[in-house]
Structure formats: structure tokens, C-alpha cells
Amino acid sequence: MSLKGQAAAIGIGELKPIKEPGDHTALALMGAVAAEAIADAGLDKRDIDGLLVGVPFSDPGMIYPGVAAEVMGINVRMLNQVDIGGATGAGMIWRAAAAIQAGMCSTVLCLMADLNKVGDQRMPTVSVQREFELPYGNIGANCGYAMIAHRHMHEYGTTARQMAKVAVDQRKSALRNPLATFNDRPLTIDEVLASRMIVDPLHLYEIVSPVSGGAAVIVAGPEVARRATHPPVWLLGAGEYSNHSTITYAPSLTTSPIKPAAETAFAMAGLTPGDMDLVCPYDCYTITVIITLEDAGFCKKGQGGPFVMEHDLAYDGDFPCNTHGGQLSFGQAGLAGGMSHVTEALRQLMGRGGGRQVSNAALAYVNGNGGIMSEQASLILERRS
Amino acid sequence: MSEYLKPLPKPTPISRPFWEAARRHELMLQHCADCGAFVHYPRPRCPQCFSERLEWRRACGRGTVYSYTLVRRASSRAFADAPYVLAIVELEEGPHMTTNIVGPADRVGIGIPVEVCFDDVTPEHTLVKFKPA
């Protein structure tokens, strides 16, 4: 028994990212985006009987789902936090479907919001990061992805221009996304390469920008999905994989755990990468997209660089990719940044892409990526005609 | 001498022999008595075969740069003295290790041979770094 076709996403909430945290709290943003998603699905909050929450970086705390449920006044039959970094959004979708399939609940609110500020403690007090990484200045995500990019360039001849192209094409779509943080002007490859080098070989415009914001998705079983306002988007396949936490100790810097995650998802769906009308690969950096396209099977290993040069990744191109602009143009509101790939795929499949609608989009591949290419969750989503 | 403001390792009972060796300017690695794997970072069990029979062995101190970056701007004020070269070194014994490559950044590239050196950053703490061989 698989999750194929067992549950559908029926409602979306997403806040326009703001740069400054202001007077907001993450919990207040969660309430706002939850209300939006519930209304979008045509439901009342009393219809929600499952809750998956991502704990905000800005407000890390234990037993968070219960706190969020109480603040919103929601009673649930299933509640949990999902804690797989940028893969949390995609990981929530299949967990919600699994809980529904198991009969534990019928309608799950997948919820996350965050402020652009760092909370007290994001790392275990005793950890390999504290002991063997931080003393050498391996801080944050930039350094790990820079070393991944260097190694990819070394092994496969990937170039700076190829990586920059990802940011450029995604920006073209962002210009038609009113919610995107960077939607006021197009980018060129030369502009990306002229932006400040932060960690060689990654330039400023290849690195995601932290913002405050939130995202929520309602996942429901067939009975609820049938009476949803918008066309339900069914989960056809899901796969998850992790084989390291710290990139230094990963089996490879250039072949990621996306490969088994994507293979599982495509096998469950009974589909291949060539069947997809749209892809939303997690993009914390440009190199992440290139490696995802390779490992998920959209091109051969090592050919991600040439692939993005040969294809137009914009909403009206021959290979629509991250048509919300990706996090690179949309902004990254903590864990909610990873849900932006899910919400964009849902919008496109529901036919709600507005000025950036991909024509005839019926099938989408989404990947969420946690940590430094460590936790991976792939989804295959379908709008049935 | 100015105060050292960067993060320092806090050894655990498992990792203490590694850091004590570093203070003696020796590079020590765990070695699995059952499967023969060398292990870094120090762990309670062998990550290959799950054996508890991990013993400390002195490493040869040679390796190659597996990947690196020149950090021009670090996301921590403690490293305001950037640029610095952060690298993953592949040790001759097999394990990968996060470290810094000391000396001019333009001498660093993927695949270059490096050898261990020791940086006594405080009277109590020595970091294991590498330099081009």
C-alpha cells in the first residue's frame, strides 16, 4: 500500500516576505498564514483535525505544535513537529498524507512561519558542529555549499556562468510574482558574476536572502478534497533520504541523497522525470538546483551546468523551474522558504499561476533540501483533468 | 597577545584523546579493531560496522584537499578577520576532516597535497590545521 493518490493539497497560505522582523512574533505569523490557507481551501478551522508545525529558528522551543494549536484554538487528532530543515515543507506533505491514509485524521494543516532573526540556540550544545566545524569557521550554510560548488566544478567542469543562469532565469519568473522579495528588475549572468564574492565560488546573488514570512498548506483525504474550492492537487509519489548531517562527512559532495529520495517518489508515482511539466527544486544556492536536476534524473550526472544553459527555466520556457522565483528571488523565511516550492507547484497545478502560469501544467516534481544537502524529501504532485 | 574570540572545541569523553593529542602536536584518529576503518570525527561506535572496539592510532598527517572555499565574509563576527581558507582534507588514512589551510590562499586547490600543522590558539586549545606539502 503506498501513498499514491491517497490525499490532496487543497489550500494554500503564503505571506509576502518582509525583510525586517518588526514587532511580529512567529506564532502570530503562523496564525495569519493558517487562516489564509483554511479560507483558501473553503474550510472552517473546526475542519482541521491534524497539525504539522515547523519550529521557527527565531523561537526554538519544545512541544511547539501544541502551543500553536492552542493559540489558534484548534483541536486535533494528530499533532507533531517536522524537523528536517529545508525539507520540512515537502516532508510535511507526505507525513500528512500518511496520517490521513492511516485513518488518524482527515484534514491536516501544514504550517510554518519565521522571523528574520536568530533565536537563542539553534544547535545542540554538544555537537560535531560545535566541536569540529565552528572552530575552523565552517559557519552557517554558505561554506558547505561553496565547497560543494567547488568540487562540482572540479569533477564535472561546471562553470560560474552556468550556476549564475539559474538565478537569472528564476528572476524572470519572479518579476511576475507580486509576493517575491526581488521582483523589481531582471538579472543578467554578468550582473550575478559582478555581485560580491562571499564564499568562493558563490556570489551574493547566488545566495538565498533571509526574510520574515510564513507558508501553510492544507492536505486532505478524498472526501474533504471533493468539496474544496480549488482543484485538488494529489500526491502521487513521495521519497525521503538522508545519509549525512555535516557535509564534511557525506559520502560525496557532488552526488546527494536526492537521488534515492527522487527515485522512491518517481517509482511510487509510476512516472519519470520526463513526464513532469514543472519542477520546484529547493534553491538555497544556485548549485543546489544543478545538483537536484542531476540527482532527480532530469539530466545525466555532471550535466546540470550544460542543462541549465540549454534550457529556459522561466515560467514560459521549455523547462519551467521555480516559477515563483525560487527562494533566491522570493526570499527564505526560515523553514517556510522550503514550503515555497510546494506552494508554487500547487498554485501552478491549480491554474492559479497568474501572470506566470505554466501552460497545461498537470504534473510537478518538488524537492525539499535540509541542512547542507543532508535531508531530502521529493514529491510528485498531480492535478487530475 | 589579544584575547582569542573564536569558538573553541569543548571535548567530550569520546573526543578528548583527539584534542589532547593535538596539544602534543600529534594527529590521532580512531581505528576500528573489527573492520579496520579509520574514523573521524571521534564517535562512540564505528560508523561502518557499529563495533565499539575503536582504538586511537597516530595518523601520518598527510592528505589532499578534497574541496575548499575562500571565506571572504563569514556570517559570524568572531571571524571578522576573513578571508580564510576553509577546507575538507582527505586524510591518507581515508577520513575527511574540516580544517583551515594556512598560508597564501592562491596556493590552495582541489587535489593539492597537504600536511598537518598545529595552531596553539590558546594555552589550552590547539587546532589541527594543514599547509601545502
- Closest partner residue to A134 (CB to CB) among B7, B97, B111 is B7
Please tell me whether the peptide bond between A201 and the residue prior to it is cis, using omega within 30 degrees of 0: yes
Rounded Cα distance between A86 and A210, Å, is 13
Q: Return the amino acid letter for A244.
A: H
- Asked if residue A125 has pLDDT above 80, the reply is no
The per-residue pLDDT for range A67-99, each reduced to its tens digit, is 999 999 999 999 999 999 999 999 999 999 999
pLDDT digit string, tens, across residues A283-333? 999 999 999 999 999 999 999 999 999 999 999 999 999 999 999 999 999
Q: Cell digits for A139?
A: 559557519
E runs forming strands in chain A: 8-14, 50-53, 78-81, 107-114, 197-199, 202-203, 213-220, 233-242, 278-281, 363-370, 375-383
Residues of A in contact with B71 (CB under 8 A): 137, 142-143, 146, 199
Residues A75, A45: Cα–Cα separation, whole Å = 9
Range A345-350 average pLDDT: 98
Q: With an 8 Å Cβ cutoff, is A137 touching chain B?
A: yes
Please give the pLDDT value at position A119. Answer: 63
Quote the minimal CA–CA distance from A191 to chain B in Å: 19
Phi, psi angle pair for A57, to nearest 5°: -60, -35
Question: Hey, are the CB atoms on B41 and A147 less than 8 Å from each other?
Answer: no
List chain A domain ranges: 8-119+208-383
Determine whether the interchain pair A199/B8 forms a contact, defined as Cβ–Cβ distance below 8 Å. no
Domain boundaries, given as residue ranges, for chain B: 16-132
The yes-or-no verdict on residue A122 having pLDDT over 70 is no
| Record: contact A249-B100, CB cut-off 8 A | no
Q: Chain B partners of A200 at a C-beta cutoff of 8 Å?
A: 69-70, 72
Q: What percent of chain B has pLDDT over 90?
A: 93
Tell me: the pLDDT tens digits for A131-186? 999 999 998 899 999 999 999 999 999 999 999 999 999 999 999 999 999 999 99
- Give the residue from chain B lying closest to A145, CA to CA: B69
Each residue of A7-51: pLDDT tens digit?
A: 999 999 999 999 887 788 999 999 999 999 999 999 999 999 999
Interface test mutation site (partner B, options A125, A131, A134, A244, max chain B beta carbons within 10 A):
A131
DSSP chain B: -PPP-S------TTTHHHHHHHHTT--EEEEETTT--EESS--SS-TTT--S-EEEEE---EEEEEEEEEESS-SSGGGTT--EEEEEEEETTS-EEEEEB-S-GGG--TT-EEEEEEEE-SSS-EEEEEEE-
Strand-strand pairing, A50-53 and A78-81: parallel
**pLDDT above 70 for A126:** no
* Contact check, Cβ <8 Å, A137/B6: yes
pLDDT at A118: 73
Nearest CA in chain A to B101: A136
CA distance A265 to A257: 13
Mean pLDDT, all residues of chain A: 96
The partner residues of A295 in beta bridges, in order of sequence, read none
**A272 pLDDT above the threshold of 60:** yes
Instruction: Kindly report the average pLDDT of chain B as a whole number.
Output: 96
pLDDT band at B76 (very low <50, low <70, confident <90, very high): confident
- Side chain identity, residue B5: L
pLDDT at A123 over 70: no
What sign does the CA torsion over A118, A346, A188, A294 have?
Answer: positive
Per-residue pLDDT tens over the stretch B123-133: 999 999 999 99
Residue B82 sits at the chain A interface (C-beta within 8 Å): yes
Distance CA A297, CA A299 (A): 5
Rg (CA), chain A: 19
Amino acid type, A37: A
Q: Are strands A278-281 and A363-370 parallel, antiparallel or unpaired?
A: parallel
Average the pLDDT over A45-60 and give the result. Answer: 94
What's the CATH fold of domain A8-119+208-383? Peroxisomal Thiolase; Chain A, domain 1 (3.40.47)
Taking only the tens place, the pLDDT of each residue in A215-270 is: 999 999 999 999 999 999 999 999 999 999 999 999 999 999 999 999 999 999 99
> Taking residues A47-70, what's their average pLDDT?
94
Under 8 Å between Cβ of A112 and A51: no
> What pLDDT sits at residue A124?
66
**What is the signed CA dihedral for A215, A46, A9, A287, rounded to 10 degrees?**
20
The Cα angle at residue A89 between residues A86 and A94, in degrees rounded to 5: 125
CA distance A363 to A221: 19
Could you tell me the pLDDT band of residue A127, with boundaries at 50, 70 and 90? confident
Q: What is the pLDDT of residue A117?
A: 83
HSE (side-chain half, CA atoms, 13 Å) at B104: 2
Predicted confidence (pLDDT) at residue B52 exceeds the cutoff of 70: yes
Report the C-alpha gap between A321 and B86 in whole angstroms: 32
The rounded percent of chain B whose pLDDT value lies above 70 is: 98
Give the mean model confidence (pLDDT) for residues B4-22.
96
Residue A300's DSSP bridge partners are none
